[in-house]
Amino acid sequence: MCRMSTVLDLVFSALSDPTRRAILTMLLEDDMAVTDVAAPFEMSLAAISKHLMILADAGLIVQERRGRVKWCQLQPDALRAATVWMQGFGQFEPIDLDAFEAFLAQELCQDHTDDRPT
């Protein structure tokens, strides 16, 4: 009867693409212009633009146009609902922050031009 969850649909499917996760990781460092986001990837600007729209639809980023450049800013609050949902399944234990730091370190030193192989 009610229906809900479209938010979770959008967030999880946005997160399911490695390119988009890489973009979010980049934005964790600082806000970026669309062109600069696209730079490390071996993919057209239009493709990155689409990815950014998907992230924006999910609420994971906000894009603010200033002059001719559009700035992308991470919106971590959008992960709240999804995190809450997932935590419900994870036997309620505290999150291991060290694990995330380690993962992030590994991901940041990666060569994105090699992403999405075939």
Residue ranges in contact with its own copies by CB under 8 A: 1-5, 8-9, 12-13, 15-18, 21, 24, 28, 74, 76-77, 79-92, 95-97, 99-101, 103-104, 106-107, 110-111, 114, 117
Q: Residue 18 or residue 35: which is nearer to its own copies going by CB? A: 18
Say how far apart CA 34 and CA 62 lie, in whole Å: 12
Q: Within 13 Å and on the Cβ side, how many CA atoms surround 85?
A: 11
Q: Residue 16 or residue 106: which is nearer to DNA going by CB? A: 16
Q: Considering only residues 44-103, where is the footprint of DNA by CB under 7 A?
A: 44-47, 49-54, 63, 66-71
Helix 18-29 and helix 6-15: axis angle, to 10°?
Answer: 90
Say how far apart CA 28 and CA 21 lie, in whole Å: 11
